[in-house]
Amino acid sequence: MTAERRSLARMVELTRSEAMELLAGVSLGRVVYSHQALPAIRPVKHIVDDGNVVLLAQDGAAILSPGERGVVAYEADELDPSRHTGWSVTVTGAARLVSDRTELARYRRTLAPWTDTGVEHVIRISPDIVTGYRLTIGED
């Protein structure tokens, strides 16, 4: 057995701006919502548009009903499991279905579906709370 010791990653808190920039650089994440009074998580595609997180949810996802508003969390990350480095960002805020036809058309073009499961709903999350962390290895 060798005496080699793996360097531990250091967790660095991101600013809101840094976190939103990282979130805008990826297209997949996980939305956390309440379904029948229990937490549920679903992978979805997203974009960051004008400071909001806009996501595409498949028909039957039960994230929101028409006309309903709710509080959800959205998380995305890029992690390297072998080096134990990367980042994670979580956004929590009010969510609602996008109903404006012009916006729907634009978002559906931008957020092309990645499954064949049916009509998608477009949901906009207004980020009230944004947290993010970067895992790095190195000197302080």
- Partner residues linked to 109 by β-bridges: none
User: What phi, psi does 106 have (nearest 5°)?
Assistant: -65, -45
Is pLDDT at 72 greater than 50 in this prediction? yes
The mean-pLDDT minimum among 18-22, 63-67, 124-128, 135-139 falls in: 63-67
CATH topology of domain 14-136: Pnp Oxidase; Chain A (2.30.110)
Q: Give, rounded to a whole angstrom, the gap between the first and last alpha carbons of the chain.
A: 29
Question: How far, in Å, are 26, 31, 50, 86, 118 from residue 22 at the CA level?
Answer: 7, 17, 15, 11, 29
Over residues 93-134, the pLDDT tens digits come to 999 989 899 998 899 888 877 666 666 788 999 999 999 999
Closest CA to 97 of 57, 43, 130: 57
**Residue 110 confidence (pLDDT):** 86
18 Cβ partners below 8 Å, 6+ apart? 132
pTM: 0.85
**Residue 140 confidence (pLDDT):** 47
User: What phi, psi does 55 have (nearest 5°)?
Assistant: -130, 160
